[in-house]
Amino acid sequence: MPVAKPREFRRRAVELARQGDKPVAQIAHDLGISESCLRRWMKVDDVEAGRVEGVTSSERAELVRLRRELRVAQMEIEILKRASAYFARENVLPNPK
């Protein structure tokens, strides 16, 4: 898997592509990245800048955090349900003494 490029490199590559002096394919080749990679960076930049609808990186991070919290809460609820069922069964059944 290729090494991730620094944020500043991505920002400058997108700026070069947006200037329109050269085709995107040529800019990508000159920078040593694939054309699809540069186009994806441009799409992400559009979303982050609000030019195109989509999920920004901060929204994506929040979704990941919230999904994780939901998963933990659901596990806690399941544990509490099982514990309450266990203790309810213990109180309902007669003790064989």
CATH topology of domain 1-54: Arc Repressor Mutant, subunit A (1.10.10)
Which pLDDT does position 88 carry in this prediction?
86
Left if phi > 0, otherwise alpha if psi is -120 to 50, otherwise beta: which for 13?
Answer: alpha
Separation CA 97–CA 13 (nearest Å): 80
Handedness of CA 6, 8, 11, 12 (dihedral sign): negative
Which pLDDT does position 91 carry in this prediction?
75
pLDDT in tens, the chain (97 residues): 778 899 999 999 999 999 989 999 999 999 999 999 999 999 999 999 989 999 999 999 999 999 999 999 999 999 999 999 998 887 766 666 6
Within 8 A by CB and 6+ apart from 56, the residues are 47, 48
